[in-house]
Amino acid sequence: MLRLASLLFSLTLVSLSWAAKTADTDKVYLVAKFDVDGTTYNEVVFFQDDAIDELADCNREIMYGRRGGWQVYTHITKAVSGFTYSTSYACAAGAQRFSDWDRSGRAPRSQVFSVTIKNERLEVKSHASYSQCMGWVRQRGGETSKQYCGKSAQRIVNQ
């Protein structure tokens, strides 16, 4: 009986240290969603900077950005003639890593992702096409501000 209790205690310590290690590997992302108004088409960018390692700091950055004073995630959105865009931001933590954002805006948005932010956790899944992604999102309750499809020039660099 003592051996079983010792084994359970050891397993608990191992699982706690694994959970702590997993939490340490999470990065905080500012997820920017750019959508063409009146459509289901979105583009998405995953901003990450090591200077922002707390969700509260990321949310503060959004507050500054809404006033035109981005401190860390400086970026400019380009309007396309004839279209109306809406931009929304959310902060979330996740273990996935993404390739760098193309600041030139010329890289093709060839990656299609479903983006889910639940309880400030970021989950991103690749899809072969936008229609496949939309089907996946609809099966899970449909599009919301925290669950949607988006095209991106970035790639997932680890799974």
Q: What is the DSSP string of 104-148?
A: TS-S---EEEEEEEETTEEEEEEESSHHHHHHHHHHTT--BTTEE
Q: Is the pLDDT of residue 45 over 90?
A: yes
Cα of first residue to Cα of last residue in the chain, in angstroms, is 40
Q: Residue 132: which H helix or E strand, with range?
A: helix 130-139
Look at residue 85 in the predicted model and tell me its pLDDT.
84
Q: Is the pLDDT of residue 44 over 80?
A: yes
Q: Is the pLDDT of residue 13 over 60?
A: no
Look at residue 159 in the predicted model and tell me its pLDDT.
57
pLDDT digits (tens, 9 = 90+) for 82-108: 778 889 999 999 999 999 988 777 888
Q: Is the pLDDT of residue 115 over 70?
A: yes
pLDDT digits (tens, 9 = 90+) for 55-89: 999 999 999 998 888 888 877 666 667 778 889 99
Taking only Cα atoms into account, the Rg of the chain, rounded to an integer number of angstroms, comes to 19
Residue 30 token pair:
């500012």
121 or 4, greater pLDDT: 121
